[in-house]
Amino acid sequence: MGLEAFRAEIPGADKLKIASKVTLKDKGDSFTIKQKAPSGELLINLNWDQHPQGEKKTGLFSKLMGGKSGGAVDLDLGCLFELQNQTKGAIQPLGKSFGSFDYPPYVLHLGDDRSGAWSEGENMKVNLAQIRQIKRILVFTYIYEGVPNWTATNAVVTVKVPGQPVLEVPMGSQMDSRNFCAIAMIEFDGGEIKVTKLVSFHQGHPDCDKTYGWGLKWVAGSKD
């Protein structure tokens, strides 16, 4: 297993240690969060490197954008969701399907970063007061524009729950020509939240849907 936990010691409390971050290193690694309070939000963040170290406009970064000098990869965060009542759907910038925090599906996308320039990346939040209504969430990312080059993006997804260690799911150095990646599965069972690393690549949304048995109908969409 490639699970790593980093702990920060509190001065003057030698026997008390609190995990500050848990990294899911390998496919299939998982970690279960036991929710302490039925309120607040679970934050899912996607961040990536807009300008890989040492890259020039005419080099690797240009190739990432299909030869467009000075462009920026448009990497998007989204998810498939399934509620306990079997309602299913997708949340993503494509098609402006941003969801809702206070109403079903209790998952909200906070905005599209079309360049990777925002230091905080892209975020979705889940209403922890309603997690007993949610069965599972599949977190994915896809390259909306540009030639797929996952190694250059250096993408990392983090999952944060108040009072719990931050879960980090790095994509790692991936070489794949497909533009869609299922990064993690989040499963809800009462007050427990289980996060499992997937990092599987697909030929778009329908292929991912078929792999994980969501059963949605898909049509072509656009952000414009």
Burial class (CB in 10 A: 0-12, 13-18, 19+), 200: middle
Query: Residue 111: is its pLDDT beyond 90?
Result: no
Kindly report the pTM of this predicted structure.
Answer: 0.81
Among 48-52, 92-96, 123-127, 177-181, the range with the most confident prediction by mean pLDDT is 123-127
Both structure tokens of 119? 């230091």
Rg (alpha carbons) of the chain, rounded to whole number: 18
Running DSSP on this structure, what letter comes out for residue 12?
T
Element (H, E) at 135: strand 134-145
Q: What is the pLDDT of residues 5-50, one digit of tens each?
A: 554 443 433 333 456 899 999 999 999 988 777 789 999 999 887 6
Contact 32, 187 (CB under 8 A): no
- What is the DSSP track for 13-54? -TT-EEEEEEEE-STT-EEEEE-SSS-SEEEEEEE--SS-TT
**How high is the mean pLDDT of the chain?**
80
Summarize pLDDT for 169-207 with one digit per residue, the tens. Answer: 998 778 888 999 999 999 999 889 999 999 999 999 999
Task: Collapse the DSSP code of 102 into the 3-class scheme (helix H, G, I; strand E, B; otherwise coil) and give the result.
Answer: coil
Spatial contact of 32 and 194, defined as CB atoms under 8 Å apart: yes
